[in-house]
Amino acid sequence: MSEIKNIKVDVLKSKQKSQVIVKITDSENNEGIGEAWWGLPDPENPGGYSDPIASVIENILTPKLLGKNANNIEKHWQDLSDFGYRYGDQGIYLMGLSGIDIALWDLFGKKNKLSICQILGGAVHETLPCYASLPPLRSPKLVIQETKRAINLGITAIKLHEIETNYVNILRTEFGNSIKIMVDVNGHYSLLEAIKAGNKMKEHNITWFEEPIKPMRDYKSIKTVGEKTGIPLAGGENEYTLTDFKNLLDKDILTYLQPEITKIGGITTAKKLSTLIEMYNIALCPHNFSIGPSLYASIHWAFSSLKTTWIEIPWVPENFGFDFYNELPKISNGKIKKPTGFGINLE
């Protein structure tokens, strides 16, 4: 039996974005690696807002798993979900469980020399296009510089996290219609502001408007933004359970769905979401802003899932205070090839 021997959590502390890395070792010395959601940035105390997520893993989840059979991934997910239900079925508890789940899948794949994508049924895409997801830069010069750097790798889609609509204008003026532009404001606007901003950006033909409204799950207002602007909407990175996603999809608001694998409960939930997404016939664009095990796991999931449309690649200038655990996936002509490595490894 492959017994879970050790679970270790490391918070890699960076000024703008930390990472919560989970390593699980079994009795045969196989290792699996996972990642929980990373927490909000805390430049004054790097990693400070990640520590509570690490604590869930160390103090609640780990003691329930040690000595158990590492192969029983679904059972562990169900047992841990059931055990922690009174902490809520959304939020920090599920973020911790996501890190554990990805590590267990990775361990199983590496031990059996199988890629996660293969275990999920194999790739249904040979390549997938990626878009460069720029962090909030608040500088036209940097936005242009980073867009040029992406174009040099053949990437033709750029996502902005700027709240001022003139950035879309700046990109269109500089690059014309050679690029697609997505805009994500992480729930910054009121309804009226979002409609106004949406109508301005519409003139510059944006591909999607992501999480336009504060609070981010005010579905009624989000629906109104879509109706009043006619711009396709994206969202879903702050949904957690299968029920959350079903409720959201039933509302018929979004064109692009963006589940975040470090929030939903890892690969175990992701594979179930693929079915839901297929049933609702909506474009899947897995959310990710971490070049780490979670991005690699997302890529395996994305390739096994029929409706995947885009892969999000964090696109961060050097010395920006984002340190990443893994290397950037190989990008050729703006596309990523199907993963073939064992576990979550890409090659």
Choice from 106, 146, 162, 184 touching Mg ion (CB under 5 A): 184
CB of 124 to Mg ion, least distance (A): 25
Give how many residues touch Mg ion by CB under 5 A.
1
Burial of 122 from C-beta contacts in 10 A (0-12 / 13-18 / 19+): exposed
| Cα–chain center distance at 137 | 20
Render the burial of 92-116: b for 16+ CB within 10 Å, e for the rest: bbbbbbbbbbbbbbbbbbbbeeebb
Q: Retrieve residue 109's tokens.
A: 């794949």
Three-state SS at 118: helix
Stretch near Mg ion under the rule CB under 5 A, chosen from 97-105, 119-127, 179-187, 305-313: 179-187
CB of 70 to Mg ion, least distance (A): 33
Element (DSSP H or E) covering residue 83: helix 73-83
CB of 234 to Mg ion, least distance (A): 8
Nearer to Mg ion, 146 or 184 (CB): 184
Pairing relationship of beta strands 283-284 and 256-257 according to DSSP bridges: parallel
CB of 49 to Mg ion, least distance (A): 18
Q: How many CB atoms neighbour CB 67 within 10 A?
A: 10
Residue pair 195/225 in contact by the 8 Å Cβ criterion: yes
Stretch near Mg ion under the rule CB under 5 A, chosen from 28-36, 50-58, 176-184, 319-327: 176-184
Q: How big is the chain, counted in residues?
A: 347
Nearer to Mg ion, 184 or 239 (CB): 184
Stretch near Mg ion under the rule CB under 5 A, chosen from 65-73, 95-103, 184-192, 317-325: 184-192
Nearer to Mg ion, 26 or 184 (CB): 184
Stretch near Mg ion under the rule CB under 5 A, chosen from 11-19, 63-71, 182-190, 325-333: 182-190
Nearer to Mg ion, 106 or 184 (CB): 184
Q: CA–CA distance from 43 to each of 17, 18, 39, 283 (Å)?
A: 9, 10, 12, 35
Residue pair 181/172 in contact by the 8 Å Cβ criterion: yes
CB of 148 to Mg ion, least distance (A): 23
Stretch near Mg ion under the rule CB under 5 A, chosen from 89-97, 180-188, 217-225, 269-277: 180-188
Nearer to Mg ion, 35 or 184 (CB): 184
Nearer to Mg ion, 162 or 184 (CB): 184
Binding site for Mg ion (CB under 5 A): 184
